[in-house]
């Protein structure tokens, strides 16, 4: 029969850890985190280096500033929330049954504001020996995993839930407590270790202090029956906690996968390079987290809070979900380069949507295709050269109006082939078998206004850009009109170009240019405005 086994992961000084996680260069420096209104800021968290320099919790900002080489950062609740979810995600790799160890110990206000200065999770690791080895090995792997994510944690493994939780919260490092040794391990903890516990009682603590009971070992040594006689049933719970035999009903939570990273800059960042330096780390973390779940990043959204109070959001969508950090960073760089924020950035939230990374079986006889990830970067570069809406695949619109189309992003590779197959009848679309070769047009955009000389109601000569073209043959007119039923078109004056409606006559002309070269062109005559336009050349 398997015995119960719990591992508790405790991350102390969460406000400091949340900010230092993405700032590895500050981890070797003394850092304190300030919280509160601007005039009354006090230290709410600090690292070991700061503690050695004399900093302490509750210290005023002026006192902290007076300490040499002290780095002061402002607390970020958003960063703590993100760090908590990342920590939860990391530990969920080791067990599906996880409970938030501090949830019951927090006050309601703290829960609502998310202002807990520590973060602890208890994992039910019963039956995981075959996967992760003995508890010592599991604890080591757990700490390595969290260290890679930027967390410094203490871990305790015990068969008793509360023992694991208390030891992890008050003893640093890794502790694996053998069965029956719980009371011995807890004996050294001060009685205040039970503060904030569900069973806490200030009156009871005061009475025990008057009796000279200062640690859990002394409390556990008191005879239970006499203790209950004098202090009531609540004292029994304390005694059981101190002896390491308090029972607990495990209430696992179900962590949702939220791929988010948050970074609050100390000073507004006005350089794209500096921004990208931070984004690179964040993408790295996101990709690592997605990879641990055998997923890839389908979209990445960068939400920037700007110095002027506004926000700026950019979204990148690779053709295929990817884990290639350099590729994703390049896409973000191109996107922000093409659409830069209008002010300096104060904070940055990077959110990613996970997607399944695809594996394709390639064939020897499949035609060569652009590599999707490389094509994404190429398209982004092309857009930065010619414009956002000037690169893509043209799609014809369902209208008789000339030159009506819109652009869609090119989806190449096997993903595009898949989409084309799904959109159709299951077979790759084949070009229609033509009986003859099509005469093609070269469009003028916008159509060039020309002056036309008529002879017997038919064009005889037209002038374009100071050049005179003698018309040798004119075929037409071919009248066309459309969208005259649209109210918006009438309001806009029925202009043939630039409004929804059109009413024009087209002429196919064979002409001779001034240098004697023959040409075939398409002229349109706006009937309402009596304006002629050179629409296209046949070529």
Partner 1 sequence: MPSAATLQMEIERSLAARFPAALSPAPQTHREAAATGVAAVDTLLQGGLPVGAVSELIGAMSSGRTSLALAFVASRTAEGRICAWVDAGDTFDPESAAGSGVNLSQLLWVRCQGMQSSPCHTDLPQAGRRRVQRQPWARLDQALRAVDLLLHAGGFAAIVLDLGDTVWEQASRIPAATWWRFRQAAGSTHCSLVVLGRAAYAASSAAIVLECAARQAKTSGGTILSSLEYNVTLKRDRSARIAPCPFPARRATASTWTAQPGWTQQMRRA
What is the per-residue binding string for partner 1 in 287-326, x denoting contact by CB under 8 A? ----------------------------------------
Binding of partner 1 by 537 (CB under 8 A): yes
Site residues (CB under 8 A) for partner 1, limited to 25-84? none
The tokens for 352 are 């990613």
Binding of partner 1 by 358 (CB under 8 A): no
Helix (H, G, I), strand (E, B) or coil at 452: strand
Q: Which residues contact 254 (CB under 8 A, 6 or more apart)?
A: none
Among 130, 445, 465, 466, binds partner 1 (CB under 8 A): 445
Among 7, 91, 264, 269, binds partner 1 (CB under 8 A): 269
Which of 533, 524, 535 minimizes the C-alpha distance to 477? 524
Compare residues 183 and 275 and give the one whose CB is closer to partner 1. 275
Compare residues 219 and 328 and give the one whose CB is closer to partner 1. 328
Minimum Å gap between C-beta 411 and partner 1 is 8
Site residues (CB under 8 A) for partner 1, limited to 414-443? 416-417, 420, 428-432, 434-443
Q: At what angle do helices 413-423 and 372-386 cross, to 10 degrees?
A: 90
Q: What angle do CA 461, 508, 443 make, to 5 degrees?
A: 100
Site residues (CB under 8 A) for partner 1, limited to 335-354? 337-338, 340-345
The Cα 72–Cα 193 span in angstroms is 29
Minimum Å gap between C-beta 249 and partner 1 is 53
Among 97, 245, 314, 381, binds partner 1 (CB under 8 A): 381
Q: 């990342």: which residue's tokens?
A: 86
39-53 core/surface letters (b: 16 or more CB in 10 A; e: else): eebbbbbbbebbeeb
Site size toward partner 1, by CB under 8 A: 81
Alpha-carbon dihedral 286, 288, 289, 295, rounded to 10 degrees: 100
Minimum Å gap between C-beta 328 and partner 1 is 17
- Which residues face 503 on adjacent strands? 481
Alpha-carbon dihedral 363, 367, 368, 372, rounded to 10 degrees: -80
Compare residues 57 and 510 and give the one whose CB is closer to partner 1. 510
Minimum Å gap between C-beta 478 and partner 1 is 9
Q: Which residues contact 447 (CB under 8 A, 6 or more apart)?
A: 497, 524, 533, 534, 535
The Cα 32–Cα 262 span in angstroms is 19
Sign of the C-alpha dihedral computed for residues 422, 426, 430 and 435 taken in this order: negative
The Cα 451–Cα 469 span in angstroms is 10
Using CB under 8 A, which of the segments 23-31, 232-240, 268-276, 346-354 binds partner 1?
268-276
What is the per-residue binding string for partner 1 in 208-237, x denoting contact by CB under 8 A? ------------------------------
Binding of partner 1 by 460 (CB under 8 A): no
Compare residues 118 and 369 and give the one whose CB is closer to partner 1. 369
Compare residues 212 and 363 and give the one whose CB is closer to partner 1. 363
Binding of partner 1 by 134 (CB under 8 A): no
Minimum Å gap between C-beta 24 and partner 1 is 24
The Cα 31–Cα 25 span in angstroms is 11
What 56-61 contacts at long range (C-beta under 8 Å, 24+ apart), as own/partner pairs, is 59/32, 61/34
Q: What are the backbone dihedrals phi and psi of residue 194, each rounded to the nearest 5 degrees, phi first?
A: -85, -5
Beta strands 174-176 and 154-158: pairing type?
Answer: parallel
- Which residues face 414 on adjacent strands? none
Site residues (CB under 8 A) for partner 1, limited to 481-520? 508, 510, 513, 517-520
The tokens for 496 are 């043939």
Binding of partner 1 by 280 (CB under 8 A): no
Minimum Å gap between C-beta 7 and partner 1 is 45
Q: How many residues does the chain have?
A: 539
Among 116, 219, 222, 275, binds partner 1 (CB under 8 A): 275
Minimum Å gap between C-beta 342 and partner 1 is 4
Binding of partner 1 by 277 (CB under 8 A): no
Minimum Å gap between C-beta 275 and partner 1 is 8
Among 37, 58, 223, 394, binds partner 1 (CB under 8 A): 394
Among 387, 449, 493, 514, binds partner 1 (CB under 8 A): 387
Compare residues 230 and 470 and give the one whose CB is closer to partner 1. 470
């Amino acid at each position: 029969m398997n015995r119960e086994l719990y591992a508790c992961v405790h991350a102390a000084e969460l406000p400091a850890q949340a900010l230092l996680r993405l700032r590895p260069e500050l981890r070797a420096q003394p850092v304190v985190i300030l919280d509160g209104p601007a005039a009354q800021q006090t230290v709410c968290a600090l690292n070991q280096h700061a503690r050695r320099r004399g900093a302490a919790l509750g210290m005023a900002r002026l006192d902290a500033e007076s300490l040499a080489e002290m780095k002061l950062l402002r607390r970020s609740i958003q960063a703590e929330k993100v760090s908590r979810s990342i920590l939860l995600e990391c530990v969920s790799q080791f067990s599906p049954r996880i409970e938030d160890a501090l949830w019951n110990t927090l006050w309601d206000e703290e829960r609502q504001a998310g202002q807990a200065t520590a973060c602890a999770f208890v994992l039910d690791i019963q039956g995981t020996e075959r996967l992760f080895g003995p508890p010592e090995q599991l604890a080591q792997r757990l700490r390595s995993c969290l260290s890679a994510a930027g967390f410094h944690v203490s871990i305790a493994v015990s068969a008793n839930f509360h023992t694991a939780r208390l030891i992890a919260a008050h003893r640093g490092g890794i502790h694996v407590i053998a069965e029956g040794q719980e009371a011995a391990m807890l004996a050294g903890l001060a009685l205040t270790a039970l503060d904030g516990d569900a069973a806490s009682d200030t009156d009871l603590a005061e009475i025990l202090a008057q009796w000279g009971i200062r640690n859990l070992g002394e409390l556990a040594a008191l005879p239970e029956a006499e203790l209950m006689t004098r202090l009531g049933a609540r004292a029994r719970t304390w005694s059981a906690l101190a002896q390491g035999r308090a029972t607990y009903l495990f209430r696992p939570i179900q962590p949702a996968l939220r791929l988010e990273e948050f970074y609050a800059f100390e000073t507004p960042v006005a350089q794209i390079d500096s921004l990208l330096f931070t984004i690179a780390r964040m993408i790295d973390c996101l990709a690592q987290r997605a990879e641990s779940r055998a997923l890839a990043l389908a979209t990445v959204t960068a939400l920037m809070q700007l110095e002027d109070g506004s926000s700026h959001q950019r979204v990148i969508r690779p053709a295929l979900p990817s884990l290639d950090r350099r590729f994703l960073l390049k896409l973000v760089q191109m996107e922000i380069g093409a659409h830069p924020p209008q002010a300096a950035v104060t904070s940055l939230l990077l959110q990613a949507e996970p997607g399944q990374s695809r594996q394709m079986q390639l064939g020897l006889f499949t035609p060569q295709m652009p590599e999707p990830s490389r094509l994404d970067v190429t398209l982004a570069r092309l857009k930065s050269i010619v414009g956002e809406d000037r690169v893509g695949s043209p799609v014809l619109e369902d209208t008789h109006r000339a030159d009506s189309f819109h652009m869609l992003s090119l989806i190449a590779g096997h993903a595009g082939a898949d989409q084309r197959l799904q959109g159709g009848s299951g077979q790759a679309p084949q070009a229609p078998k033509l009986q003859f070769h099509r005469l093609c047009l070269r469009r003028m955009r916008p159509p060039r206004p020309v002056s036309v000389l008529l002879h017997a109601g038919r064009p005889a000569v037209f002038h374009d850009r100071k050049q005179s073209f003698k018309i040798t043959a004119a075929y037409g007119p071919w009248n066309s009109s459309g969208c005259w039923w649209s109210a918006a078109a009438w309001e806009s004056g029925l202009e043939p170009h630039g409004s929804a409606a059109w009413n024009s006559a087209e002429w196919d002309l064979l002409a001779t240019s001034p240098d004697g070269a023959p040409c075939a062109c398409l002229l349109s005559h706006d009937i309402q405005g009596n304006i002629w336009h050179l629409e296209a050349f046949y070529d």
